[in-house]
């Protein structure tokens, strides 16, 4: 242990006898200890403790107003479990019960008066050594905890960045702005929140919705970018983007990707059972898929595509109302229409409803 650190340790002396205090001060000064604070009125102990923040307390037991036992008892209630603040009891009470009680109340060491100066200094040094080792462990633990938090944050950021880039790769083929995925994610989160889902689940769905069309990676450009109406064979091929997307995302333990797999597979299922890929109906369709279905239809209608012009928000809302109970979940549509009425949904890229 660094000698300078030991000598600069803060030592608080608590004894109602002025002669005893002066004796300890002279002894410690001769041994190089420079940060001493002494009080002879024990009622000043706790204000002094808060202001001086000692590394060691030298405590008498028999004092007026507030004896050493009471101080030890209150001190144990004041300090957190992480704090190691040693107390060396120095007392003229030589009875075994006094020592037993003091140690039970939290004192770390015990000496009888009159004491031998060399032994006192050795006990003080040992207690200070333990105090500083404990502080070093605490500091190291805090530093380690900070590094773990930073590393965790970096890993989370890396996962999110990979998710965004994966979504961007899918959207870039038929939406080179990359904004469709983010608008669908934002609308999905607004609807989910309004439906009363917990905040963490809302955020999971916001991120998972970014990958709803990841399966388009596996659809040929001739079909994906065709400006006109698809033939039945081409439409069947386009439908496969749901199962392709689910296959890409399957097997993850990451909650966002688990939700994304479910969304990719089910966001084209219809409330009336006429959707794809499995013809699910009603509440057999996962809620995440039903929410994204509404968000996806709204964004597709209000934005220009290779095969259509952008619709005004009002017209799109009317179309979604018509699809309620057929293509779309009526309850999700109801919440969606409330959001439209309140002007809370993402509008087309020019910033104005068409």
For 44-67, write each residue's pLDDT tens digit: 999 999 999 999 999 999 899 999
Q: Which of 29-33, 71-75, 138-142, 282-286 has the highest mean pLDDT?
A: 282-286
H helices then E strands: how many in the chain? Answer: 15, 5
Yes or no: say if 76 and 105 are a contact pair by the CB < 8 Å rule. yes
Distance (Å, whole) CA 262 – CA 266: 6
The two beta strands, 35-39 and 10-14, are parallel
CB crowding 301-334: b at 16 or more within 10 Å, else e: bbbeeeeeebbebeebbeebbebbeebbbeebbe
Q: How many CB atoms lie within 10 A of CB 244?
A: 18
Yes or no: say if 83 and 53 are a contact pair by the CB < 8 Å rule. no
- Report the range of poorest mean pLDDT among 91-95, 194-198, 253-257, 335-339: 91-95
Q: Is the pLDDT of residue 183 over 70?
A: yes
- Report the range of poorest mean pLDDT among 93-97, 149-153, 258-262: 93-97
Distance (Å, whole) CA 40 – CA 22: 11
Domain ranges of the chain: 3-144, 172-341
Residues 229-239 have a mean pLDDT of 92
CA 141 to chain centre: 19
pLDDT of 53: 93
Residues 146-170 have a mean pLDDT of 84
Task: Give percent of the chain above pLDDT 70.
Answer: 94
Q: Report pLDDT digits (tens) over 272-317.
A: 999 999 999 999 999 999 999 999 999 999 987 766 788 999 999 9
Average pLDDT, the chain: 89
Residue 61 DSSP symbol = S
**Homologous superfamily (CATH) for 3-144:** Response regulator (3.40.50.2300)
Distance (Å, whole) CA 300 – CA 120: 82
The residue written with tokens 């404990």 in the block is 134
Residues 168-188 have a mean pLDDT of 77
Distance (Å, whole) CA 174 – CA 178: 9
- The CA distances from residue 240 to 127, 224, 258, 289, 295, in Å, are 72, 11, 19, 16, 20
Q: Is the pLDDT of residue 134 over 90?
A: no
Q: Is the pLDDT of residue 178 over 80?
A: no
Cα dihedral sign, 113-116-120-126: negative
Q: pTM for this structure?
A: 0.62
Residues 21-27 have a mean pLDDT of 92
**Homologous superfamily (CATH) for 172-341:** Hypothetical protein af1432 (1.10.3210.10)
Contact partners, residue 2, CB within 8 Å, separation at least 6: none
Q: Is 282 left (phi over 0), alpha (psi -120 to 50) or beta?
A: left
Q: Report pLDDT digits (tens) over 81-127.
A: 788 899 999 888 777 888 889 889 889 988 888 888 889 999 999 99
pLDDT tier at 353 (50, 70, 90 boundaries)?
A: very low
């Amino acid at each position: 242990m660094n000698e300078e650190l030991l000598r600069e340790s803060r030592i608080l002396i608590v004894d109602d006898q002025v002669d005893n205090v002066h004796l300890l001060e002279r002894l410690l000064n001769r041994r190089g200890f420079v940060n001493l604070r002494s009080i002879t009125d024990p009622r000043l102990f706790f204000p002094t403790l808060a202001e001086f923040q000692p590394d060691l307390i030298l405590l008498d037991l028999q004092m007026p107003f507030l004896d050493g036992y009471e101080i030890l008892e209150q001190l144990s209630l004041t300090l957190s479990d992480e704090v190691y603040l040693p107390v060396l009891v120095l007392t003229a009470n030589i009875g075994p019960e006094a020592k037993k009680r003091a140690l039970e109340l939290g004192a770390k060491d015990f000496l009888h008066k009159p004491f031998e100066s060399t032994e006192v200094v050795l006990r003080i040094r040992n207690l200070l050594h333990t105090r500083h080792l404990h502080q070093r462990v605490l500091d190291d633990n805090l530093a380690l905890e900070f590094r773990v938090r930073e590393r965790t944050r970096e890993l989370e950021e890396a996962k999110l960045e990979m998710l965004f880039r994966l979504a961007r790769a899918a959207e870039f083929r038929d939406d080179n702005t990359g904004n469709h995925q983010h608008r669908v994610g934002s609308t999905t989160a607004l609807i989910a929140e309004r439906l009363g889902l917990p905040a963490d689940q809302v955020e999971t769905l916001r991120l998972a919705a970014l990958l709803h069309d990841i399966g388009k990676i596996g659809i040929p450009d001739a079909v994906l970018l065709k400006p006109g109406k698809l033939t039945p064979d081409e439409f069947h091929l386009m439908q496969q983007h749901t199962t392709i997307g689910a296959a890409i995302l399957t097997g993850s333990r990451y909650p966002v990707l688990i939700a994304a797999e479910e969304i990719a597979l089910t966001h084209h299922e219809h409330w009336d059972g006429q959707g794809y890929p499995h013809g699910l109906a009603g509440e057999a369709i996962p809620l995440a898929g039903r929410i994204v279905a509404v968000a996806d239809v709204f964004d597709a209608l209000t934005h220009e595509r290779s095969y259509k012009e952008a619709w005004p928000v009002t017209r799109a809302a009317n179309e979604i109302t018509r699809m309620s109970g057929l293509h779309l979940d009526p309850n999700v549509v109801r919440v969606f229409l409330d959001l439209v009425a309140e002007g809370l949904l993402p509008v087309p890229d020019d910033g104005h409803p068409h």
